Structure 1
């Protein structure tokens, strides 16, 4: 009987650990998803990488690499370091990136026709007999 209780306690402890592990990662995943959705078209700053800016502004990273005359391979350096190493100011880097972003994005679609006013059908407006 004591052997059976010991196994039961071990199984319960393992179950609690698995539930805690799953809950922790579920909360982390949801919080990361909420956090990431809040970062659309963020102002460009020194700490950002080209990949981060590309993801935030929905443009391909190679467009931003080309705007800064960098090879089109992944570059994990922050923009401040890229500016310092290329001898440019952060304002120049930001201006080039913004120009590339504006020209890489598709233009906004033309607005559709205005909605038609609601007109009840003649059969629904006649009084019931």
Structure 2
């Protein structure tokens, strides 16, 4: 096995480098996927009360509803098309609408419950 690896490295160093890079790339994204999957499967991370740092996309993942449901509940327009634009946080949305985070949480909870009853979840 070692002699075959040495032969491959000496005869095809570019191909070997590409294989190593592709393996590391795949490993990185597999670890990211597993970390995200484990985090979202924890019951403590489901249906969280809104906090100022949260963004609408995170809220949608936490509540297990499509992002459009959260956008409608928060009375946001369509998502911005610009790639460089920083998304709003829940604190930004609460200040802009003049409501508290608890009121936003109640809106999201109602919208999520309505979505779940419509889709039998």
Per the shorter chain, which TM-score range? 0.5 to 0.7
RMSD: 2.4
Answer 1 or 2: higher relative contact order, Cα 8 Å, separation at least 6: 2
Match of residue 82 from structure 1? 93
The count of aligned residue pairs is 99
Match of residue 114 from structure 1? none
Higher relative helix content: 2
TM-score, structure 2 as length reference: 0.65
Mark the runs of 5 or more structure 2 residues left unpaired by the alignment: 1-8, 81-86
Deviation at 1:55, TM superposition (A): 2.9
Mark the runs of 5 or more structure 1 residues left unpaired by the alignment: 1-7, 109-129
| Larger Rg, first or second structure (1 or 2) | 1
TM-score, structure 1 as length reference: 0.62
Q: Distance in 1 between matches of 2:56 and 2:28?
A: 25
